[in-house]
Chains A and B, each alone.
Chain A
Amino acid sequence: MRKLLPFLLLSVLGLLSCAKDDLEVADLNNNPFDPAYVGENLFELVSADVAYESVNGVTQSFFRVEVRCRTDRFLSPTPFNVRYKRSNTEVWGPFQYNATTTIIKQYGYAVGQEFCWDFQLGNGGGIGAGNRICATVE
């Protein structure tokens, strides 16, 4: 009996240690598809420069911005959608399916002018993480 008691106490203590609830909803915020995502920016600027193109024999310049979606920050591989809009507007563009890289062509610009876009990740009709990308014409 005397030998049994410490064993019993240790067993109960061991069982008690397993009874810890370590799942906090507030801590669940690292999934980019979570609207409450607070991790590192999912969209990042790859390049921003002035580019040229020829349309009907006419050469015109535009401000070319390349934005990348950091799919490596997804918690699991999955299809996704990306949409964006100019920060100073309310109208979002269409969703682009599995758009790892998005290229924005901004016509009408001035050197030194800054442009900002809001990017969002979406899937299944809902909106997940998003962040703003800004670039200045040089």
Chain B
Amino acid sequence: MMTRTTIRKSFLLLLHCACTSIASAQAPGKLRLMVDPGAGFEFVLDHRFRMQQREVELAPGPHHFSFWAPTRRVTDTTITVQSGVMKDFYIRLPYSPEYIAYNKQLSQWQAKRNLQRRLPILATAGAGVWTLVRYAKLKDAKEVLDGDRERYRLTAVPSDITKLKEVTIPQHKEEFRSERGKFYMAAGISLACAGVSYYLYRRTGKQEKPQFNDPEKVRFDGLVWLPGTDGGQWATQLSMTIGK
């Protein structure tokens, strides 16, 4: 969408091209910009015009470009435009040192946060699995006791009943108590792990994520006119080369 500022900028650029072309009496050349990153880049042409387009039509001769894109370093270069020629220009904008440092800081922050979050959750999951295993064992022990109760009901031999009551059931009850103790321990550890996970999850949720303030953008913005809320102002100059 063309804003009023863009229209004004385009008009001034055309005026600049026209003036220089008329002055030099040569057809303008075209420049197609192939910039990495492919989107979001901007450039300042000849220290005056801040632009975003991929193609520019310029008067023949050398032109200064300052390229910039978010997280990238401002890169200055001079391109010579030839009359009536469409030229492709390739450039890769390097990441700014501040962004590299920020990225490292962000990675460390994320690694720490992941450690604080995932480790307790993994421990909770492990403890949960252990609890389920212990519960399965406890259930088996309970089923053995239930089987004893059924055996008592079905047995019709007094000596078998006596043995069941005096030996078998106490032994199975002891096994059941042992399994129950292990299950309580596993459940307690699971709950503790869940509590710690919850606490750390909440605590890490309050940790501030590192912010990236792009100093290269500030530098780039300082190269030329900056739009204000009411449109801003141009501070530029027009120069004409009088013919040879």
- A128 proximity list for chain B (CB < 8 A): 158, 161
* C-alpha gap A2/B198 in the complex (Å): 7
Give chain B residues whose Cβ lies under 8 Å from the Cβ of A122: 158
CB of B20 within 8 A of chain A?
no
Whether B187 pairs with A123 at a CB distance below 8 angstroms is no
Q: Are A28 and B152 in contact (CB under 8 A)?
A: yes
Q: How large is the interface on A (under 10, 10 to 19, 20 to 34, 35 or more residues)?
A: 20 to 34
Chain A residue nearest to B202 in the complex (CB): A1
CB contacts under 8 Å to A, within B173-202, are: 173, 176-177, 180, 183-184, 187, 190-191, 194, 197-198, 201-202
Main secondary structure of the interface of A (DSSP, over half): loop
**Chain B residue contacts of A53, Cβ below 8 A:** none
| Chain A contacts with B in 68-127, Cβ cutoff 8 A | 74-76, 78-80, 122-127
Which A residues form the contact surface with B (CB < 8 A)? 1-2, 5, 8-9, 12, 15-16, 18-19, 21, 23, 25, 28, 31, 33-36, 74-76, 78-80, 122-128
Pairs A–B under 8 Å by Cβ, sample size 30: A1-B198, A1-B201, A2-B198, A8-B128, A8-B190, A12-B190, A12-B191, A15-B131, A15-B135, A18-B135, A19-B142, A19-B180, A21-B142, A21-B177, A21-B180, A23-B169, A23-B173, A25-B169, A28-B152, A31-B153, A31-B155, A33-B155, A34-B161, A35-B158, A78-B156, A123-B157, A123-B158, A125-B159, A126-B157, A128-B161
